[in-house]
A and B are shown apart, each in its own frame.
Chain A
Amino acid sequence: MQIHIKGLLVITGNYGSGKTETALNLAFNRKEAGIDVAIADLDLVNPYFRTREIRKSLGEAGVKVILPEEKYMHADLPILAPEVAGIIRQPSELLILDAGGDDVGVTVLAALGDALSRQTVNMIQVINPFRPFTDNVEGCLKIMREIEQRSKLKMTGLVSNSNMMEHTSPDDIYRGYELICKVSQQSGIRIEFITADTRLIPMLDMNRFECPVLPIKRRLAFPWN
């Protein structure tokens, strides 16, 4: 099954759900599939492990990257690159907006409301069942409501990013898929895709999934790896 997402895509989710890793891997994956991809770092919340840390390899892969100015690379200031509103008005084939975590992280989207209101917006919620507050359906639905309220946008898709770092097993991937199936049933929001580390892909029974699987290669590594 192929990932079909195109147009304007906002990636949201609770803090630490793996939004940025999902966004980066989706950007590389879609670029390789021949799609014109741009990615904008809207994370005004998280001080470390941000899209801006791998701007070089994104650029080399031909992904257009919209970031705050280089001199603010390591600032913990809520800077929104001014070109973001412009690119939303004229998006590439796939424009990924990597938002910050929780409802707080998507507040910035409301500020872009004018630009977003003229576009069809896809907004996906990334869920990692191993993170606090989203290990159950109620927790996922709560954060979904909070994100929708703050961003003034509707959630359109779900992504399971079941992740325990190098300890992730195929069963963990199935568990994440089962959780978003339930979230999908209760909310009526469709499952967009699930993610799995490239190492796990050969071990997975793909027949268990009724959605595409995005292979994940960790991009924001620890300094000792």
Chain B
Amino acid sequence: MAKVLMKGNEAIGEAAIRAGCLNYFAYPITPQSEVAEYLSKRLPEVNGVFVQGESEVAVGYMIFGAAACGERVMTTSSSPGVSLMSEAISYIAGARCPAVFVNIVRGGPGLGGILPSQGDYFQATKGGGHGDYHMLVMAPDGVQEAVEMTMKAFPLAEKYRGPVMILGDGLIGQMMEPVEFPDDLYVEPTNKDDWATNGMERRGSSTKNIVKSLYLDPATLNNHNLLLKSQYEQMKREEVRFESYNTDTDYELLIVSYGTMSRVCKTAIDNLKAEGLEIGMVRPQTLFPFPEKAIHDAAAKESCKHVVSIEMSMGQMVEDVERSVKGKKEVTWFGQCGGEVPTPEAVMEHIQTLLNQNQ
């Protein structure tokens, strides 16, 4: 297919259709509403279903219902909406149903503001809902990657039978970039007959499939949690994704950043390189599982004096960076909240300050 110019939100909607998702339930909220707007036009053209729920709480359970039936299903929202869905996300993880959640993050806490933010890092990677569960979380840095990740999210959700999240800051949803959709579009759904409530008659079976998250027997619940844990361990082995930038140099400092922020950092790195200063960057593409080893190894490089986590949040990912670096180098945070994205100049100035302190 030829390239088109799309907003991230529209492209995520189109990518879902092309990944075979014909069930989309959502409630509008800035800065994500264009996904719903786009899919309300597009889904009827492909015999898909779009329902605008009466709230994000309702949407969360519509997703649970459709996923339990073995349907490919997605919702999109932004921060406060995802908070409302978090209960359902925990139930979906507990009941082991595949579903795709997209959070186009805005400023918080509370109603916050409508501008871009990365303040939902903890919510996405450390729970949000209750209980011992994780979501596989992918963070695109632009419209093309948002398409790729959305299309991958469905088979990954099915592989692990759990919720997968695409975490993009508001700019990822709102900005327009040329984008290309792969020609090989529809990914065949996996066989869900062994667990989905998709009809005994349809699958020619005499056993009921029951989808639930309730396990009253303590030993059974413990085993259930051990199974989930083993899946999260498998994700850590098989699904870690990251990009290294300028790390083939003798960089003096290592940046860790993701999403829109990483693009600002790339500009800063390019500018500093032109001035003769080498800075490396690891950009996590999956936030859970986190690229611990990549960051650990990149920080261990002898030339590297310092590691800085640059975020559009008040120091969330920095905790995972510290955990990865394991005290080998000093790790600090830099960032900004509220919607103004730190400029390349601000990043460059901060790096210079850090390096001067390390002299």
Do residues A223 and B178 form an inter-chain contact, with CB atoms below 8 A?
Answer: no
B202 at the interface (CB under 8 A from A): no
Shortest distance from the beta carbon of B344 to any chain A beta carbon, whole Å: 6
Q: Which of B4-12, B129-137, B189-197, B232-240 contacts A (4 or more CB under 8 A)?
A: B4-12
A-side contacts of B38, CB under 8 Å:
132
B260 close to A (CB within 8 Å): yes
- In the docked arrangement, what's the CA distance between A47 and B175, Å? 11
Give Cα A165 to B34, complex, Å. 20
Which of chain B's residues has its CB closest to A130's CB?
B5
With A and B bound together, what is the CA distance between A15 and B13 in angstroms? 15
A151 at the B interface (CB under 8 A): no
B266 at interface by CB-CB < 8 Å? yes
Contacts of A132 in B (CB 8 A): 4, 6, 10, 14, 38
A170 neighbours in B (Cβ, 8 Å): none
Is B170 at the interface (CB under 8 A from chain A)? yes
Q: Which residues of B contact A128 (CB under 8 A)?
A: 5
Cα-based distance from A62 to B263 in the complex (angstroms):
34
Instruction: For the complex formed, measure the closest distance between the CB of B14 and the CB atoms of chain A, giving whole angstroms.
Output: 8
Chain B, residues 24-52, CB within 8 Å of chain A (1/0): the string is 00000011001001100100000000000
Task: Looking at the assembled complex, report how far the CB atom of A80 sits from the nearest CB atom of chain B, in whole angstroms.
Answer: 18
A residues less than 8 Å from B343 (CB atoms): 223
Range for the number of chain A residues in contact with chain B: 20 to 34
Scan B234-260; emit 1 where CB is below 8 A from any A CB, else 0: 000000000000000000000000001
Beta-carbon contact of A165 and B4 below 8 Å: no
- What is the CB-to-nearest-CB distance from B179 to chain A, in angstroms, rounded to a whole number? 10
A158-B265 Cα distance, complex, nearest whole Å: 40
Choose from A16, A76, A135, A224 the contact partner of B267 (Cβ within 8 Å): A224
Indicate whether A87 reaches chain B with its CB closer than 8 angstroms.
no
Q: Verify if B89 is at the interface (C-beta below 8 Å from A).
A: no
- B41: chain A residues within 8 A (beta carbon): 133
Q: Does the CB pair A165–B176 fall under 8 Å?
A: yes
- Asked whether A49 lies within 8 Å of B174 as measured between CB atoms, the reply is yes
For the A-B complex, the count of residue pairs with Cβ-Cβ distances under 8 Å equals 69
Give chain A residues whose Cβ lies under 8 Å from the Cβ of B260: 223-224
Among A48, A128, A165, the one with the most B-chain Cβ atoms within 10 Å of its Cβ is A48
A74 at interface (Cβ–Cβ under 8 A)?
yes
Q: How far is the CA of A54 from the CA of B68 in the complex (A)?
A: 48
How distant is the Cα of A130 from the Cα of B2 in the complex, in angstroms? Answer: 9
Q: How large is the interface on B (under 10, 10 to 19, 20 to 34, 35 or more residues)?
A: 20 to 34
Chain B residues with CB below 8 A from A135, complex form: 4
A residues 64-101 in Cβ contact with B at 8 Å: 74-76
* Contact flags A146-173 to B (C-beta < 8 A → 1, else 0): 0000000000000000011101000000
Mark interface residues in B168-206 (1 if CB within 8 Å of A CB, else 0).
001100111110000000000000000000000000000
Task: From B31, B115, B176, give the contact of A16 (CB < 8 A).
Answer: B176
Query: A45-58 toward B: CB 8 Å interface, digit per residue (1/0)?
Result: 00111000000000
B31 partner residues in chain A, CB cutoff 8 A? 47-48
Q: A130-B5, A131-B5, A132-B4 are in contact. Are A48 and B344 (CB under 8 A)?
A: no
Chain A residues with CB under 8 A of B170: 47-48
A163 touches B341 (CB 8 A): no
CA distance A53 to B250 in the complex (A): 40
Q: A48-B31, A225-B267 in contact; A167/B176 too (CB < 8 A)?
A: no
How many Å from the CB of B273 to the closest CB on chain A? 15
Query: What A residues does B6 contact at CB under 8 A?
Result: 16, 131-132
Q: What is the distance, in angstroms, from B20's C-beta to the closest C-beta of chain A?
A: 19
Query: How far is it, in angstroms, between the C-alpha of A128 and the C-alpha of B7 when the chains are bound?
Result: 13
Which residues in chain A, 10-47, are within 8 Å of chain B measured between CB atoms?
15-16, 47
> Contacts A76-B30, A76-B114, A132-B10; is A222 near B3 (CB within 8 Å)?
no
Asked if A223 and B5 sit within 8 Å, CB to CB, the answer is: no
Q: Which residue of A lies closest to B175 (CB)?
A: A222
Q: How far, in angstroms, from A144 to B6 measured CA to CA in the complex? A: 20
Q: Which residues of A contact B174 (CB under 8 A)?
A: 47-49
Interface membership of chain A positions 214-225, coded 1 if the CB is closer than 8 angstroms to chain B and 0 otherwise: 000000001111
- B59 CB within 8 Å of chain A: no
Shortest Cβ distance from A166 into B: residue: B178
Q: Of B4, B266, B341, which one neighbours A131 at CB under 8 angstroms?
A: B4
CB-defined contacts of A223 to chain B, threshold 8 Å:
171, 260, 263-264, 341-343
From known contacts A47-B174, A48-B170, infer whether A224 and B263 are also in contact, taking CB-CB under 8 Å.
yes
Q: Interface on B for A, CB 8 Å cutoff?
A: 3-7, 10, 14, 30-31, 34, 37-38, 41, 113-115, 170-171, 174-178, 260, 263-264, 266-267, 339, 341-344
A49-B174, A74-B115, A224-B267 are known; give 20 further A-B pairs, CB within 8 A: A15-B34, A15-B37, A16-B6, A16-B176, A47-B31, A47-B170, A48-B115, A48-B171, A48-B175, A74-B339, A75-B114, A131-B6, A132-B4, A165-B5, A165-B177, A165-B178, A222-B171, A223-B342, A223-B343, A224-B260
What are 25 A-B pairs at a CB distance below 8 A? Answer: A15-B34, A15-B37, A16-B10, A47-B31, A48-B31, A48-B174, A48-B175, A74-B113, A74-B115, A74-B339, A75-B114, A130-B4, A130-B5, A132-B14, A133-B41, A135-B4, A164-B178, A165-B177, A165-B178, A167-B3, A222-B171, A224-B263, A224-B266, A224-B344, A225-B267
